[in-house]
Amino acid sequence: MGKSILVVDDDELMRSFLSTILKEEGHQIEIAGNGKEGLATLINTEFDLVITDLRMPEISGLEFMQKGARAKPDTKWIVITAFGSIENAVEAVKAGASDYLTKPFNNPDELRHVVRRVLREAEAEQTISLLSEELGKQFPPMDMIFLGKKMQHVYRMIREVAVTPATVLITGQSGTGKELVARVIHQLSPRQNKPFVAVHCAALAETLLETELFGHERGAFTGAVAARKGRFELADNGTIFLDEIGEIAPSVQVKLLRVLQEREFERVGGMRSISVDVRIISATNKDLKTEVSSGRFRDDLFYRLNVFPIDLPPLAERREAILPLAEFFSKKFASAFGKKTDGFSLSAESALLEYDWPGNIRELQNVIERALILSSGRIEVQHLNLENASQAPPAAGGLLKACEQETISNVLSEVKGNRKKAAEMLGISVRTLQYRIKEYEL
């Protein structure tokens, strides 16, 4: 769909050239001969994009952009400069322009490419904003999720892959936001108005998972009184998200491989092949290469899933997000519980920043929820209850790791699997114990 674009240049031939090319692309174009005229037009009309020359009489392109951006902060800007004056374009980009072009143009495709990219990124930003509102009750705002250099790199990868049909594998520790990333990819894709279907593979037994994914026919097993569509059918033309993909049984891996290769399958108890058009995004906190080496995961399935890998860093490696997220969660729970919150004491902030967060964002949310319940306004370090967890032996390699694993295993045996009692005996929280149990596969 065409966008509204304002072209501002004191060179009539350049205005005509830009207008012709952009109209061919399906955009609605208005023109102005100088910055003063352009500013008046911009203030009175809504534009998706402004393309302006930097060197103009009366008002320079940079001054025009600065005034125009204050008046219409959501409008995107592309500046044009002469080949020998690129430093001026760099200055404009620092001031807020999305990109720049140098003239004379060697090829009209150069203009088309830059305009398409800037408009695509503008749409992505708008979609992200809408998605943040949509998911606000489940997830933190995405400007917090993607804080920091490492997560900005992840965000760039998400935007690049979202517009393609490529299969994506999201890796990272539990609680790092893998499902949120999958939803963002879906919302930025051409399938955004089609279903997004999430399946948590570890939560279902082998037979149940197969039925859940592929459906079943009437009479396929006791209790199957009617045919039922599986998640793949429900996700047709949309996206299916397979969380904890490393947990699926070999028999299900075979059927999943066929879906990836041929985009078809049979329901449980059925003979008819069903074709689907589904984008597959999977996630795991396991090292699937190790799982392949050990024979627990099919190598051919791994290569099919790992077309475009995205690895999410743990919260400990994006500490710039810890305090903003903690503040967000405290306000969220204060509103939900009808309590007043006065933020965090300095000692509480220090404790949050120094803790390793083995459970990542999910653990941070749980810690803040508990702290807010215990507090009477300001959250203090004792409300966080991080002392026991931080004193637990680190998940190090070698002898220390082996000793920790053996100790936890022995205590669990002694209390017959009672995790609450085991945590009390070990001097750690139940949450930390659960992380260790999962880490050591006890």
- Domains delineated in the chain: 4-124 (3.40.50.2300), 143-311 (3.40.50.300), 315-391 (1.10.8.60), 398-440 (1.10.10.60)
Summarize the confidence of residues 154-181 as an average pLDDT. Answer: 92
Q: Which of 381, 433, 431, 382 is nearest to 404 (CA)?
A: 433
What's the one-letter identity of residue 279?
Answer: R
Summarize the confidence of residues 214-220 as an average pLDDT. Answer: 84
Question: How far is residue 281's CA from residue 361's CA, in Å, rounded to a whole number?
Answer: 21
Distance separating the N- and C-terminal Cα atoms of the chain: 55
In this predicted structure, the answer to whether residue 126 has a pLDDT above a threshold of 70 is no
- Dump pLDDT digits (tens) for 137-153: 556 677 777 888 899 99
Is the distance from CB of 266 to CB of 272 less than 8 angstroms? yes
Is the distance from CB of 244 to CB of 202 less than 8 angstroms? yes
Summarize the confidence of residues 258-268 as an average pLDDT. Answer: 90
Contacts of 403 (CB under 8 A, 6+ apart): 393
Question: How far is residue 397's CA from residue 426's CA, in Å, rounded to a whole number?
Answer: 20
Summarize the confidence of residues 405-425 as an average pLDDT. Answer: 75
> Residues 56-86, buried b or exposed e (16+ Cβ, 10 A)?
beebbbbebbebbbeebeebbbbbbbeeeee
Summarize the confidence of residues 164-181 as an average pLDDT. Answer: 93
Q: Is 290 left (phi over 0), alpha (psi -120 to 50) or beta?
A: alpha
pLDDT band at 384 (very low <50, low <70, confident <90, very high): very high
pLDDT band at 288 (very low <50, low <70, confident <90, very high): very high
- Dump pLDDT digits (tens) for 42-74: 988 889 999 999 888 888 888 899 889 888 888
In this predicted structure, the answer to whether residue 390 has a pLDDT above a threshold of 50 is no
Higher pLDDT, 270 or 311: 311
The residue behind tokens 């990124």 is 121
Provide the CB-side half-sphere exposure for 33 (13 A, CA).
Answer: 2
**What is residue 131's predicted lDDT score, i.e. its pLDDT?**
55
Tokens of 137: 């009750």
Contacts of 103 (CB under 8 A, 6+ apart): 14, 80, 81, 82, 83
**What is residue 202's predicted lDDT score, i.e. its pLDDT?**
85
Higher pLDDT, 156 or 107: 156
Is the distance from CB of 9 to CB of 52 less than 8 angstroms? yes
Q: Which of 104, 59, 54, 47 is nearest to 79 (CA)?
A: 54
In this predicted structure, the answer to whether residue 12 has a pLDDT above a threshold of 60 is yes
**What is residue 103's predicted lDDT score, i.e. its pLDDT?**
82
In this predicted structure, the answer to whether residue 135 has a pLDDT above a threshold of 70 is no
Question: How far is residue 247's CA from residue 239's CA, in Å, rounded to a whole number?
Answer: 20
In this predicted structure, the answer to whether residue 404 has a pLDDT above a threshold of 90 is no
- Dump pLDDT digits (tens) for 205-214: 777 888 889 8
Summarize the confidence of residues 254-270 as an average pLDDT. Answer: 89
**What is residue 129's predicted lDDT score, i.e. its pLDDT?**
56
Is the distance from CB of 410 to CB of 376 less than 8 angstroms? no
Q: What mean pLDDT is reported for the chain?
A: 84
Higher pLDDT, 383 or 221: 383
Question: How far is residue 375's CA from residue 380's CA, in Å, rounded to a whole number?
Answer: 7
